[in-house]
Amino acid sequence: MQNNGDTRRIRFFAPLLLAAAFLAASGARQAASAGEARGYLLPDAVIQALADEISGEAAKRNLEFLSLHHRMRASSQYLAAAKHIKARLLAYGLEDAEIIAFPTGNDQMYGTQKARPEWHVDFAELWEVTAAGTRRVEREDATEEARGEEAPLQETIWTRKRRLASWDAMPLSLAQDSLSGEVTTSLVDVGAGASATDYAGKDIAGKLVLVSSQPGDVAPLAIGEYGAAGIISYAQNQVTAWWKENENLVRWGHLGAFSEYPTFAFMISLREARAFQQRLAAGEEVMLEALVQADHRPGNYHIVTATIPGADPGLAEDEIAFTCHLDHPRPGANDNASGCVTILEIARTTAKLIREGRLDRPARTLRFIWPPEIEGSIILLSQRPDLAARIKAVLHLDMVGGGPETKAVFRLDRNPASTASFISDVAESFLALANRQSLAHAGGERVRWPLVAPEGGKEALLGQVSDVTLGSDHQVYAEGSFAVPFIYLHDWPDRYIHTNFDLPANIDPTKLKRSAFIAAASALFLADMGAEDVAPVLELLQQGALTRSATLLQRRSMLAGAPNKREADNLTRQHWRVERRIIRSVEAFQPLPPKAMRRAFRFISNLEQATGTVGMAPEAKGEAALRFGRNPEPRGPMSGFGYSWLEDKLGVERTGALALPEYKGAWSEQGVYAWEALNLVDGRRNVQEIRDVLAAQFGPVPVGHVLEYLRALHEIGLLFSIE
């Protein structure tokens, strides 16, 4: 329920806010010599060239090739996909395209990422078998006299009845990092398999266990404690509204690359699992034959990169980077062949338009990067600090092609407070353009840029703007070690993510075209941003501030009542600090004239007055006043892909007991508090100030949770205390 003070304030200031919004929008339109084009930040001719040239069909043809490969890190099929990307880049005219190799295996450390060894598979199959008789087996360890006196051993002859999984047919059916094993044995249903009670009263040793959990969560108990021979998992996909509806989905499974319990695991569908459960519950013995030939070995991570060099000698060292992630299981069409081929299509389009003279070469360099997810970005940025320093902004595309069948919602994530930047507003303006044009076109209106692919759909894009979420490479770039602001485009939900149904058939060429347009337009504007662009950008930021001030009032109303007054005041205080940081972020690309800066800050001050000012924050007391700095090494986030630096140094049990990593706020997800807390450690903010920034972004959080987490990082040597 909204408190009365905010209710009165909204009613009183609504006309003022509306008037300010009108003036801001009018100013943005009038600021341009090119009329409506300046409202879109790019000239009409550039928008038209991008709309004409970007091909969703060309992107999808590349996607179909990538989807044939089981693209596990450091594997031969990943390398085949990387070579395809490089070959297309060279064909498109990006002459410096290369594949950078980083050795893996042998416990190499790259920043906070421990390099996982290559996982190599020769063969894997899972069969249901039935007894077809017995045969005599001589005792090899007995004397001739003893063999004559003792009864001969009898061995069951098994006949294969039905194949349940095959690496050759569906590599996703073998859990990642499974190792060699061979067994013919019975199946035991242990439910989730993640707690000791699941195994109570059951004979597990030497058997295969049927579990609903991910194999990696089961291995310590099933393999390490109870001696199971292997794991059969029917773990379901990420929870969405469509969770468990499709019984034929087979999910990507995981075992640990550094597990203390080496084993193998097969992944089966919910339909198969339920059929087994019914038979087992009726007292039937289910016999399975599993054969896996796989190992871990030294190899190489491979990262593809290429550039379109900048034209301005004074700015060409600055780079605007496009990233995705090239790895993931076959077919992996939306996740993430879609992001890979979209930035590849941007590279083709940009190079071709420059060659044809329809687009000026941008002042700053455009860089394109295809790494393994998260771990590849940690490796690249930690090992190439020169490259990390040159990247002014990163556009990350992870799942950007989902058609109607996937139920996908297209999203643009804004930056957190630690990397607050105007580039989010730039991308939002092009997303709004695509939304407006596609919605009008779907409704039967004639528009200039419907952004429809001939082989694609005609539905409206309806893209959403979201607060920061985690789960992909953008979180590495924005991490405090590198602090690169991002534009993150992605689909969520997607009901087929990480399953055998993430197929090219579900990818919409129109969606690929629109995603490429939004990313390309945003990057080209940033790459060419000069003094003439300052005024329209500041006008754009005014419009964004108005929109975000409405969110401020909504969230403040959630904190109604006297006990929450401090939280409401903090929310307000931090909100306007971020708005001012967004304005200052423009100077990373172009100096702000003093008059323009004063005008921009005056607008924010007036808006702050309209929505209700608050006083200074109370002084931090006790341990909340402690300050920490971060040591320069290692660089990277506390958790990578398949490895956690924090767990390695602090221990799994201690790490699991920390409250902050698992804390879920009023308007945020788990994990984001701990990630952003470390980003905010700068030697100047104390624990209370870091807590207050977190609370304003994600919802109130106890200061004790933040203190506990930072103390743990101090204990393992990542942070140092400042007296």
Asked whether 571 and 696 are in contact (CB, 8 A), the reply is yes
State which H helix or E strand residue 510 sits in.
Answer: helix 509-528
The b/e string for 442-472 (b: 16+ C-beta within 10 A; e otherwise) is: beeeeeebbbbbeebbebbbebebeebbbbb
Residues 370 and 382 in one domain: yes
CATH number at residue 286: 3.50.30.30
pLDDT at 139: 60
Asked whether 291 and 123 are in contact (CB, 8 A), the reply is yes
pLDDT at 30: 38
Asked whether 447 and 441 are in contact (CB, 8 A), the reply is yes
Gap between the Cα atoms of 676 and 454, Å rounded:
43
pLDDT at 134: 83
Residue 635 lies in a domain: yes
pLDDT at 140: 60
Gap between the Cα atoms of 636 and 480, Å rounded:
8
Parallel, antiparallel or unpaired: strands 391-398 and 486-491: parallel
Q: Is the pLDDT of residue 281 over 80?
A: yes
User: How remote is the C-alpha of 136 from its chain's centroid?
Assistant: 57
Residues 339 and 463 in one domain: yes
Residues 696 and 570 in one domain: no
**Domain termination site, one of 478, 504, 529:** 529
Gap between the Cα atoms of 160 and 130, Å rounded:
7
Residue 705 lies in a domain: yes
Which DSSP symbol is given to 587? G
**Domain termination site, one of 529, 557, 574:** 529
Residue 78 lies in a domain: yes
Residue 369 lies in a domain: yes
Asked whether 301 and 116 are in contact (CB, 8 A), the reply is no
pLDDT at 37: 37
Widest pairwise Cα distance in the chain: 106
Gap between the Cα atoms of 707 and 658, Å rounded:
10
Gap between the Cα atoms of 663 and 111, Å rounded:
26
Residue 553 lies in a domain: yes
User: pLDDT digits over 465-508, tens only?
Assistant: 999 999 999 999 999 999 999 999 999 999 999 999 999 999 99
What percentage of the chain reaches a pLDDT higher than 70?
92
**Phi and psi for 166 in degrees, rounded to 5?**
-150, 125
| Full residue range of the structural domain in which residue 518 is found | 36-113+302-529
Residues 94 and 131 in one domain: no
Q: Which two tokens stand for residue 680?
A: 């905010």
**Domain termination site, one of 279, 297, 315:** 297
Alpha helices (H) in 443-489, listed in sequence order: 474-477
Residue 616 lies in a domain: no
Gap between the Cα atoms of 71 and 567, Å rounded:
46
Which DSSP symbol is given to 592? P
Provide mean pLDDT across the span 322-332. Answer: 98
Could you identify the residue written with the tokens 């870091």? 690
Cβ atoms within 10 A of the Cβ of 26, count?
Answer: 11
Which DSSP symbol is given to 202? -
Residues 386 and 450 in one domain: yes
Among the listed residues 288, 245, 259, 264, the one whose alpha carbon sits nearest the alpha carbon of residue 131: 288
Residue 284 lies in a domain: yes
Task: Select the more confidently predicted residue: 35 or 312.
Answer: 312
Could you identify the residue written with the tokens 């969606």? 511
CATH number at residue 480: 3.40.630.10
* 323 three-state secondary structure: strand
Residues 565 and 657 in one domain: no
pLDDT at 21: 45
What percentage of the chain reaches a pLDDT higher than 90?
87
Residues 448 and 563 in one domain: no
Residues 238 and 377 in one domain: no
User: pLDDT digits over 26-66, tens only?
Assistant: 443 333 333 333 457 999 999 999 999 999 999 999 999 99
Count the alpha carbons within 13 Å of 670 in the hemisphere toward its beta carbon. 5
Assign 613 a pLDDT band (cuts: 50, 70, 90). confident
Cβ atoms within 10 A of the Cβ of 608, count?
Answer: 20
**Phi and psi for 110 in degrees, rounded to 5?**
-125, 100
Assign 2 a pLDDT band (cuts: 50, 70, 90). very low
Q: Is the pLDDT of residue 409 over 50?
A: yes
Gap between the Cα atoms of 263 and 258, Å rounded:
12
| DSSP codes of every residue in 63-132 | HHHHTTS-B-TTSHHHHHHHHHHHHHHHHTT-TT-EEEEEEESTT-EETTEEPPPEEEEEEEEEEEEEEE
Assign 277 a pLDDT band (cuts: 50, 70, 90). very high
pLDDT at 151: 59
| DSSP codes of every residue in 367-412 | EEEE-STTHHHHHHHHH-HHHHHHEEEEEEEES--B-GGGT--EEE
Among the listed residues 692, 720, 721, 708, the one whose alpha carbon sits nearest the alpha carbon of residue 656: 708
User: pLDDT digits over 76-124, tens only?
Assistant: 999 999 999 999 999 999 999 999 999 998 789 999 999 999 999 999 9
User: pLDDT digits over 283-308, tens only?
Assistant: 999 999 999 999 999 999 999 999 99
- The lowest-confidence range among 549-558, 623-632, 687-696 is 549-558
Residue 617 lies in a domain: no
Residues 132 and 103 in one domain: no
Gap between the Cα atoms of 63 and 334, Å rounded:
9
Q: Is the pLDDT of residue 701 over 70?
A: yes
Provide mean pLDDT across the span 339-361. Answer: 98
Count the alpha carbons within 13 Å of 461 in the hemisphere toward its beta carbon. 35
Residues 521 and 572 in one domain: no
Asked whether 638 and 644 are in contact (CB, 8 A), the reply is yes
Mean pLDDT for the chain overall = 92
Assign 144 a pLDDT band (cuts: 50, 70, 90). low
Q: Is the pLDDT of residue 562 over 80?
A: no
Q: Is the pLDDT of residue 24 over 60?
A: no
Number of domains observed in the structure of the chain: 4
Asked whether 466 and 411 are in contact (CB, 8 A), the reply is yes
Residues 146 and 208 in one domain: yes
pLDDT at 5: 45
Q: Is the pLDDT of residue 218 over 60?
A: yes
Provide mean pLDDT across the span 9-21. Answer: 47
Provide mean pLDDT across the span 389-402. Answer: 98
Could you identify the residue written with the tokens 């006299």? 145
Which DSSP symbol is given to 684? S
Residues 336 and 463 in one domain: yes
